[in-house]
Structure 1
């Protein structure tokens, strides 16, 4: 399949190496004959391909993202593929400065400022905002079927009860906004003290911003109060940040729960460490 995709794009490559830490698609780092680096990305499904295609079209010129050099809509064997430029730098780490955290807030707010385009028909990237509580419940219930098979019965029942109680206490949704749904350090590229851009748009929606802070908080913001403040300042310089303390407990809980279901779907043995990490979070929050 990869050879077919390379042929479709008409590129001549010196080397091709699979990117190991890509969980929702197959990604290959490629070196062209002229020494330039590009990426070939193959989403798992046609829906994910369509979402990402529409995201690149909508975000272009509004938010820093890789340039989509080419794409192929696929065939009966391949769901589609992208040829993408390289963003300069490396993924965001816990060692990043408050200055970088401020810029992460800025780019996150810029993305959340993008609203559904008037008059444009979208087939992959859905607007879930008008039925946001229903969307959240459907997502939770979908993973609950998998979680039930691996979680202790008492713990599972406590989780279901907590979800129903906390959902009633959520404030009014904030949006409709373009939400990433996987906004975490691995999808944020930083070059020294400058944020180069954002990656990975397979799970994007239009919806409420409240869901989009959880993973960044878990993996970056919660580790340093100065960086958390800098992030908030950066976000507020573009648009008003919602009261995160009012929504983070609920979304941290649902993220841990849903992640356990994700591990069951993708294989418990292969994702044992991620499962244990989220089980520990779930127990603490319960």
Structure 2
């Protein structure tokens, strides 16, 4: 708690109660009730890039989606990367079962996000929006895969790693170019959605958001909602289509599922294999499943 106490002093705030919300795995997040009774959120991002990205994305989304307001920003010091002071949205992260009604609302919320145009394919920085080279979405995909491969080849067994590389080279050539750059969340899952009762109240955690292809945002909904509660897929898609359209989902989803899992293995390597064994296994199992379904049995 030492970091959050130091950050609160910087912001000139006196806490009464400090708790850690569930479903927070990357940056440090604290739910704080101040002495006067006001509730705020303190977020200490993993690095300064994530701090800048979340700050700018939240500013862009104000009035379009129920997202936190940035109340204050601290640029950090030699020990702490910096911090965001955010308004608290009513509701709690979704950790229990998802029914058709909630799935429908989730679909609508994701579509509302995707209806927001991005400046291009790329991400926000403190110096403005940084486009991918040539403003090409698949340049980002290729560069990410290459960067992640450095980590993955030290974690995956050689046969699985080799087959992953072969699958990527073949599959990416058949992926359709996205028609436009939309705002995508990159971690759209129940843990980053807030609800009161059976009413969806907000979306949080935009530190990885960027301008990209909307199909990538369906990966975690498939893993954490549709695969767990199969009856919710139709309701989710009905909600999504009530706001927007997605044409290449069935074609693209297997590839982006693979892409996300490969990135997940890299994340575990960088954040600590021992501390993230369960998440590592989840991603390796996904890679094996995709290889199997593509007739590249591991």
Whether these two folds match at TM > 0.5 is yes
Alpha-carbon shift at residue 23 of structure 1 (Å): 2.0
1:208 matches 2:216: no
Which of 267, 277, 280 is the aligned partner of 2:285? 280
Using the TM superposition, name which of 48-57 and 5-14 deviates more: 5-14
Instruction: Give me the whole-angstrom Cα distance separating, in 2, the residues matched to 1:261 and 1:248.
Output: 20
Q: Distance in 2 between matches of 1:275 and 1:117?
A: 34
Is the partner of 1:70 in helix, strand or coil?
strand
Unaligned runs of 5+ in 1: none
Q: 2:147 maps to what in 1?
A: 142
Contact between 1:126 and 1:206, CA under 8 Å: does it hold in 2?
no
Could you report, residue by residue, the CA deviation over 1:98-131 in whole angstroms, capped at 9, with x for unpaired residues?
111111111111111111369xx95355444931
Deviations 1:161-203 (A, max 9, x none): 0011111111221421011111111111111111111111111
1:179 is the counterpart of 2:184: yes
Question: Do 1:143 and 1:258's aligned partners in 2 also have CA atoms closer than 8 Å?
Answer: yes
Equivalent runs, 1:158-177 vs 2, <5 Å: 158-177=163-182
CA distance in 2, matches of 1:211, 1:60: 23
Q: Distance in 2 between matches of 1:194 and 1:45?
A: 33
Aligned position for 1:271: 276
How far did 1:250 drift? 0.3
CA-CA distance at 1:93 after TM superposition: 4.0
Note the alpha carbon deviations across 1:26-56, whole angstroms, 9 max, x for none: 1112111133322110112111111011011
8 Å contact kept, 1:174–1:242? no
Q: What is the TM-score of this pair, normalised by structure 1?
A: 0.92
Give 1:20 shift. 5.8
**In 2, Cα distance between the equivalents of 1:79 and 1:264?**
21
Q: Which of 106, 113, 116 does residue 115 from structure 2 map onto?
A: 113
Q: Which runs of 4+ in 1 moved over 6 A?
A: none
The alpha-carbon deviation at position 86 of structure 1 amounts to 2.0
- Asked if the contact 1:49/1:80 (under 8 Å) is kept, the reply is yes
Distance 1:269 1:79 in 2: 24
> Paired residue for 1:153, among 152, 158, 166?
158
Matching residue of 2:199: 194
Q: Which runs of 5+ in 2 are unaligned?
A: 292-298
1:222 aligned residue (224, 227, 248)? 227
Q: Deviations over 1:41-79 (max 9, x none)?
A: 011211111101101110000011123222223334332
Instruction: Quickly say closer, same or farther: Cα 1:127–1:107, change in 2 above 3 A.
Output: farther
- How far apart, CA to CA, are the structure 1 residues paired with 2:290 and 2:92? 32
Tell me how far apart the structure 2 counterparts of residues 175 and 190 of structure 1 sit (CA, whole Å): 30
Q: Is the deviation greater in 256-265 or in 76-85?
A: 76-85
* Equivalent residue number for residue 241 of structure 1: 246
Residues 65-104 of structure 1 aligned to structure 2 (within 5 Å):
65-93=67-95, 95-104=97-106
Shift of 1:263: 1.0
- 1:253 and 2:258 aligned: yes
Corresponding residue to 1:23 among 1, 18, 25 = 25
Name the CA shift for 1:21/1:224 in 2 (closer, same or farther; >3 Å): closer
- The CA distance in 2 between the partners of 1:231 and 1:127, in whole Å, is 31
